[in-house]
Amino acid sequence: MTAAASVREDMQYASGPLATFIGIEKIPNFAAGILGSFVFFTTIHLLVAPALSQKFFPDAYTSGGKRGMNNWSIHVVSLVHSVVVIGLAASALDLPALENDRMFGWDDRAAPVLAFATG
């Protein structure tokens, strides 16, 4: 067993009781994806967005002070999130289980999209 598989199993085990308590039993299977997505978007917010914004838009980025720079980074993360999730969601558009029950339908092939969007 690889280290990544071990961590994934530990996350499934740790998130199981909370998921059962809340009534969302499928969440532990995708806990690693949710956490990975959270880390990905946090990295964009704290490191990537400030560096790129400072390089490409120095006047606009720094004109609002600390609060404005944080707000700018939030918008960058939102843009990246929307582009990535729309791209991933396109792969789940034609799944029969989701087409038959649009409100509560479930297909395991759509789950990674949902996990990434949640993070």
Structure tokens at 106: 């479930």
Task: Quote the pLDDT of residue 12.
Answer: 84
Q: State percent of the chain over pLDDT 70.
A: 99
- The pLDDT tens digits for 6-34 are 888 888 888 888 888 988 888 888 888 89
Q: What is the mean pLDDT of the chain?
A: 89
d(CA 111, CA 31): 11
pTM score above 0.85: no
CB neighbourhood size of 44 (10 A): 18
Q: Is the pLDDT of residue 74 over 90?
A: yes
Task: Quote the pLDDT of residue 59.
Answer: 93
